[in-house]
Structure 1
């Protein structure tokens, strides 16, 4: 958790310099002083160039000396400009229209024609000879990979440098320079390097990456930060129809659907590596869509991409990212095979997209080398578990890095390694670090103990009234092999103390054998989800939400003890066995009753005592985690499939347990990326209880009486409105990511996102189970006549952080206190 503070501290510190020989910036205008977007600027006699943005502005630099630039756009006369000095900023370049091409100006300044357009003819050739990455053409492959991650503070000005927050750290501003992409000043403040060898087998679909070395500037415990950035900059293939970045699917300029969302212009041709290539500029047909602008060079005979640049336009519907720039270079082996040799990815993280707003550059440079093919390795090689942390890998000598790097660090990148080591001795930096720790993790550090989480300190419900909670955990490092957690809570209305205490230990790091156990005595809203966990530290949001619709008084006092064994025999496949003992009774019997008829004595009982053994199988393909201790952090939360199978058995008589029963449950969740149409989240839940049990052990369909949008609940169901022993539930929610609103002129600039949802549940409840819980004051109903269903319409990305959903009930309007309509909302930071 502590690594998250680095994202906050990155906005506040840094130092270093990049050096280049030639830099130019400015604007390109027509004769009426109107900016020309997407004009082409290149250093003459080179392939180094850029295009202007929507405002006609550009910035370009090279590490070589150049004496002139060429500026061109279809329908205008090409203009050559001599450079009299190495840095030429704020140039104003006016292009004259070609008299014979005035009609073309109308075509290419706006939407380009899809007919008789040579650029689109070339694009069709690219589709016809569409390449696959060369590694997919061989049975087996391996290659070396060098990856460099860097963070920089950008847009440095005197006000920022003189800020009081940097008192005592002024030395970090000794050197600043400008970006070769944007022309902004910046300070490199974090650097991580990794060397690895990647092995793959296309016949068995096996993949293994062996880390050979890892080195970073200043902090050794940065796995979460690195994993988070790697997930944001996940691998991609520009030949694919859609490229996924920041949880969004962008239409590739090489996509077969590209002509519907991009304008294409053929602007130049030249030799690259002794091959004649065409240069094509592309830019969006409409604003606010998830598209790029840029250009690419394509060979005239193989129709393979030699170089490509992609830049996200500022109007794209994406939050917290002001700019995104990608460069890729390829080595073409023959007419059908290409291999990527370089991938450069830069993003500008900022709170808004104003030109002068300050932010953080995140850069990833990946180089590929030493490709080898058809060298078979046995299955044991791919499936053998290795220690996820090897001390030697993270502490390589300088001689290793000198020989292993595929490109040398420049002199300023080398300074970064010294900078943070110095900063850690400065009191002002330590103060910022501690503040960042609290904001990022929610815990306050006291040596090897963390107090918190602070965000769960205050709660409220009808039983406890105002609830105050205090807790903590042991914390020596993010990779602790054991951890103890606990909390205490007090309700000022019921005047009762509650607590929870748990411990866990990682016995074996390779198989991730974990033993855990604990005890919790608290009040809880049962039925908040169909597949409940036995986490003794857990507590559902429904138990203490401050604002509720209707009464929140059907809470249960729970005394839960649990002991768990868990192992991960294969990546993302977990087997767990848990033994629990629960004592359940109403938190306030005058408001809520769990009474049932004891089948042995026919007497009415108020408390349930139950021992249960459960076996769980969990499979999460595609899940990415970081850390190698007893606790791991999920990097791509919600962006992977989940399959959960649980078999539970109640054992009567063991520890005074009341019932024998069997329960089987299946949960399957799958997100579906539907290209440019957004993301569909789906979940299916099935369950059945065999045996006769009381209300406290049945499956309650999860209602939601809070005003918060909670996935996998039914917002218009009250708590305990439906109770089942057999159920099937389906939830569908689609986020169009603004595709519809972006086509509506009055809504386009707001970057809102439209959501639709549909959910339904069917269930049964046996006469025996109804009869057993007849003494309770809860009407036992199941949706067995027909499937209960709801639908919702939502608007997301309001002020970038808020979402509101409008819910409509489909049937069962005669149920007691049935709600036909409801509104929920939620806050969150999403790209």
Structure 2
């Protein structure tokens, strides 16, 4: 998916194809007319885009084009042999047409309300109990060579009027030469879609990606556009917008009746819609073709025009027996938009043209500006009410083991038309280029770096283990890693070693695992660890590993306990929509601070804990993808829930205490169309029995015990209390709630666009049997703890600043002691 995003950011507004005619429709003042209807003499039709431009495939027998637009005189022009561009100017009718008013309401709005009222009768996923169909998709990233200048430019530098250096710029020439012979990227896919029990599943039967022997699974899971035109949120390029036929859409969109046209022999209304917001990226714009009889969508054109100019077209065929329009073809296009901001991706900078404004000088277009992406899907073998069983219905996408190994006759059977010479050369040349430049290998390395590993032969080096810092160990220097598929696909060995420059102690861990089932990613693992851990910290075993170049909060931690542990666990995704860890462990614990645990009158300075633990994360709204290498979460959605239960095992392997712990976490995120985002986090824990303070709860403090605000300035954590001092509170039961609301980035200057985030956190807690904990002084959270703050992230080069204030029952006497100022850093890889 990362490579895919990278490729699609080299686009332009100009789209042409060698076998198509194209042109523009304007009024008498040369202003473009968006969504004008163009019909050939053979009764095939299309519409112009928001810029009045059109691209249209025609047969050799077509001899005329008829252009119509409401309020303008219809014009018919002759098609001339060899001519590919047509500029059509329409004259406005002398008797200016006004919108017809029906019952004092816009007729387009009246029609849209009927579309909304009849959705359950026209949406195949609502009307039909089950259906299935197959789809052939072809996606290319390419450019029209005729649009590229392709000259070899030269420039000279002078010193003392003498020519010193001649610089030759042949990049445009080379680019034109490449795209004349081949596309820049090309992929094909054949899928079977099955719908039943209100779920739609895609099974990828075949996939072919130029330059790659193994498919890039992220590309296959990438959501270019919504499959159903009736979804409440319509999706374009993994961004969701309010659908113009959603129940609440009339309050967000303006509608206009443009024309009436015939589609598949049925009369339809042609309705233009546009979001009421003045912001270009706030909503969709386009045209809906509405069946006059049943008010179903017979065709749809959806478009967003901004930094990228993105459009999605849905075409349908009518099934008389079911009296329903069923999707037959979709087309997705991305071309480069106009914007005066630079976009950074993967460490590089791609500059986009800005709109022409005062004191703004657009740069010269280069060859890569003329690149575009187009994806076309053709549906066939449509069957309704088949009652065929769906295997693994909880999966959103399943990729067959042999999908990347299909012979050429498989593709010939499914392609709508044979590959042209340029497409054939694309496979040959990109496959050869990929091998010579080791592209597939480099992409694999990039994937692992994102997750915090660097492959060296059969071992992936763990980048998180190389260096870190905390107040107890000082600089922690180490080396760690895990074996990869070059070592074995079914067995792995992992481990690390680390040395603290402050405590002078060596720590290490060794472990191994065996794969029990690759489809459910089920592993049986065993570990031995001798290390230190922050006291009273909550660790969910199923939390995904997050790689950061630095982890800010541990820098300030000074209170740890030493532990040596034997562990055996099973990791699995066998339960649908979940990931789970089941673990048995024997752990020897020794607090590295002044602490004794009073158990039945006996004081323990160290102890043994033998425990059984079950940890599970459930994401009921996420989409999961099954690949030949395992199961992954292809589309992370909220809310998601994490449960963890830990139980000590009395009289097993010298266990000292009897206790139980229940931990729970739920996360929710909502992204808004205007770029804002709200995040909610609810976390709670309940420990009962005889639990030492090392294994209770500290609710994530992140404030240093220093005299002044300036001395306490440090890096902010992610979900931590920035005004709570380390070791200030401990609890055996607690509940924590956090709400964050991030606004769209504020443009102060061209290079300064901070992100404003408002944060509020609160926690309540209680300590049972406080007399058992001898040594540290601490408070309890019976009255609650509250803080709020403002973050200005990514002010400059990823650095930001935040301010937080502590209030409520645990507010401190000195005003300045309730204030915390923190530095934030966000590493933006453009991923």
- TM-score relative to the length of structure 2: 0.78
Q: Which residue of 1 aligns with 2:324?
A: 337
Q: Does the Cα contact within 8 Å between 1:223 and 1:626 map onto a contact in 2?
A: no
2:459 pairs with 1:449: yes
Going from structure 1 to structure 2, the CA distance change for 1:210 and 1:293 (only over 3 Å counts) comes to closer
Deviation at 1:309, TM superposition (A): 0.9
Q: Which residue of 2 aligns with 1:485?
A: 494
Map of 1:420-499 to 2, 5 A cutoff? 420-427=430-437, 443-453=453-463, 457-476=466-485, 480-499=489-508
Q: Which residue of 2 aligns with 1:318?
A: none
Going from structure 1 to structure 2, the CA distance change for 1:510 and 1:136 (only over 3 Å counts) comes to same
Does 146-155 or 724-733 show the bigger shift? 146-155
Deviations 1:732-759 (A, max 9, x none): 3445668xx8xxx999999987655443
Going from structure 1 to structure 2, the CA distance change for 1:429 and 1:159 (only over 3 Å counts) comes to farther
Going from structure 1 to structure 2, the CA distance change for 1:617 and 1:225 (only over 3 Å counts) comes to closer
Residues of 2 paired with 1:509 and 1:438: CA distance?
Answer: 19
2:380 pairs with 1:369: yes
Residues of 1 paired with 2:272 and 2:79: CA distance?
Answer: 24
**What SS is found at the alignment partner of 1:647?**
strand
Q: Which residue of 2 aligns with 1:127?
A: 116
Residues of 1 paired with 2:668 and 2:499: CA distance?
Answer: 39
Going from structure 1 to structure 2, the CA distance change for 1:301 and 1:803 (only over 3 Å counts) comes to farther
Deviation at 1:462, TM superposition (A): 2.4
Q: Which residue of 2 aligns with 1:413?
A: 423
Deviations 1:159-182 (A, max 9, x none): 8999999999999864536xxxxx
Going from structure 1 to structure 2, the CA distance change for 1:10 and 1:160 (only over 3 Å counts) comes to farther
Residues of 1 paired with 2:583 and 2:265: CA distance?
Answer: 66
**What SS is found at the alignment partner of 1:416?**
helix
Q: Does the Cα contact within 8 Å between 1:488 and 1:498 map onto a contact in 2?
A: yes
Deviation at 1:728, TM superposition (A): 2.3
Of the candidates 677, 680, 683, which is equivalent to residue 682 of structure 1?
Answer: 680
Going from structure 1 to structure 2, the CA distance change for 1:489 and 1:273 (only over 3 Å counts) comes to same
**What SS is found at the alignment partner of 1:415?**
helix
2:702 pairs with 1:716: no
Going from structure 1 to structure 2, the CA distance change for 1:659 and 1:784 (only over 3 Å counts) comes to same
Deviation at 1:329, TM superposition (A): 0.8
Of the candidates 283, 286, 297, which is equivalent to residue 291 of structure 1?
Answer: 283
Of the candidates 36, 39, 53, which is equivalent to residue 40 of structure 1?
Answer: 36
**What SS is found at the alignment partner of 1:187?**
coil
Unpaired runs of 5+ residues, structure 2, are 155-166, 337-342, 344-349, 355-364, 704-712
Q: Which residue of 1 aligns with 2:294?
A: 302
**What SS is found at the alignment partner of 1:665?**
strand
2:211 pairs with 1:201: no
Going from structure 1 to structure 2, the CA distance change for 1:539 and 1:628 (only over 3 Å counts) comes to closer
2:575 pairs with 1:570: yes
Of the candidates 133, 149, 153, which is equivalent to residue 143 of structure 1?
Answer: 133
Q: Which residue of 2 aligns with 1:215?
A: 208
Q: Does the Cα contact within 8 Å between 2:152 and 2:170 map onto a contact in 1?
A: no
Residues of 2 paired with 1:161 and 1:563: CA distance?
Answer: 65
Residues of 2 paired with 1:123 and 1:534: CA distance?
Answer: 46
Going from structure 1 to structure 2, the CA distance change for 1:376 and 1:494 (only over 3 Å counts) comes to same
Does 720-729 or 152-161 show the bigger shift? 152-161
Q: Does the Cα contact within 8 Å between 1:74 and 1:267 map onto a contact in 2?
A: yes
Residues of 1 paired with 2:801 and 2:795: CA distance?
Answer: 8
Deviation at 1:726, TM superposition (A): 1.3
Deviations 1:121-178 (A, max 9, x none): 332332233354224323333322334444447999578999999999999864536x
Unpaired runs of 5+ residues, structure 1, are 178-184, 315-320
Q: Which residue of 1 aligns with 2:179?
A: 176
Q: Which residue of 2 aligns with 1:181?
A: none
Deviations 1:549-598 (A, max 9, x none): xx532344443442102344432234532022334445xx5xxx251134
Deviation at 1:633, TM superposition (A): 4.8
**What SS is found at the alignment partner of 1:570?**
coil
Residues of 1 paired with 2:596 and 2:465: CA distance?
Answer: 34
Map of 1:782-821 to 2, 5 A cutoff? 782-785=780-783, 787-793=784-790, 807-814=804-811, 819-821=818-820
Deviation at 1:312, TM superposition (A): 0.5
Residues of 1 paired with 2:473 and 2:617: CA distance?
Answer: 35
Deviation at 1:661, TM superposition (A): 1.0
Residues of 2 paired with 1:527 and 1:543: CA distance?
Answer: 22
Of the candidates 215, 218, 222, which is equivalent to residue 225 of structure 1?
Answer: 218
Q: Does the Cα contact within 8 Å between 2:64 and 2:76 map onto a contact in 1?
A: yes
Does 142-151 or 301-310 show the bigger shift? 142-151
Deviations 1:633-677 (A, max 9, x none): 54334x244223222122356444432211122323344577889
**What SS is found at the alignment partner of 1:717?**
strand
Going from structure 1 to structure 2, the CA distance change for 1:752 and 1:124 (only over 3 Å counts) comes to farther
2:541 pairs with 1:533: yes
**What SS is found at the alignment partner of 2:691?**
coil
Deviation at 1:695, TM superposition (A): 1.2
Deviation at 1:764, TM superposition (A): 0.8
**What SS is found at the alignment partner of 1:701?**
coil
Q: Which residue of 2 aligns with 1:662?
A: 660
Q: Which residue of 2 aligns with 1:760?
A: 762
Map of 1:205-284 to 2, 5 A cutoff? 205=198, 208-229=201-222, 232-233=223-224, 235-245=226-236, 248-284=239-275
Does 430-439 or 690-699 show the bigger shift? 430-439
Deviation at 1:440, TM superposition (A): 5.1
Deviations 1:510-539 (A, max 9, x none): 5543201223334443445x343389x979
Residues of 2 paired with 1:438 and 1:541: CA distance?
Answer: 13
